[in-house]
Structure 1
């Protein structure tokens, strides 16, 4: 071939080159669509191709993101001290093994916890399927963060998320539905990061509630 782009490439290599550029497919098909008249017989096929390739890219991105989160959770798990343990508000003990026991990582990042004296502590926040976990580094390992007498493994059940009135980076995490509601204040690095955390945590809470409602309906039998 005379083209410098494909010169010295065999057919399999050319195919591989194309598949590596999957994100360019919508642009290519969109250009084709712009030069395809509505009256053309293949206009509908081009539209379908554009829709399908966008769905494919979304699916690929979703799977890649899922695998990256699995790998990230494994990394954190491997660095967590096996002796570290935390008592949850419910009284249940949460250990290292519970990080990966039937749970998925939804989001993680650096946050700060504020204690009762107003001091800030740097922590690594891990939002899992049903709990929000705060870890701190100690001797190059992760341990469950200490915060006065409050738990740093927070169930998403009955969790309320509120913005801090006079702190644009802050969030209140309020555990409701108990005899003694508990509140934890966290700070993000920016207002935008705070908003991201709030939205993702709220989505996780809503998703958990929807799953519980569906389970209740599925288990109901008419007499």
Structure 2
């Protein structure tokens, strides 16, 4: 939390991204240590979100994220909060409805602290196990269930938007739904190319609330 507060001393923030390792990788780190597979992510982040801030910790579940956000108090005033959390809760065999409630608790905390900010809740990204089949993954149905619930909840709350990046990362075949290997080679985290694809989609949404025109600096 102290490190979060140190990095949060920024003015004119457009967006703050919070979450787990998928979000922390925008910094090119995992638990603050540089990692090769995300070495280009930070450059992508600064190009897409020059007035953005990443506050995320690899391995976090919904309770850990809630604890960190409660400790931030009045430090941050971004126009947009972007939340992506829950995949580690699934890995711990948590009940899908409990995960939905955990994510919702984070959203409600932000709404309480920052009633004028826009909150974007991103659905849990697709993942796979031994092969690249998302549909055959044991977590497929739980992820679909959680994301549907999140979408419904977001639509029922003011200043809350839902974003689902699933179709960016998968290919639909006649009998399967496959992860795009070039975008998610470890079956969980976006590659640099995956971060680019995701960043472009995120930028379109964030621009609506920050007044910044999407740049799409990369081809």
TM-score, with structure 1 as normaliser: 0.22
* The structure with more strand, counted as a fraction of residues: 1
TM-score, with structure 2 as normaliser: 0.23
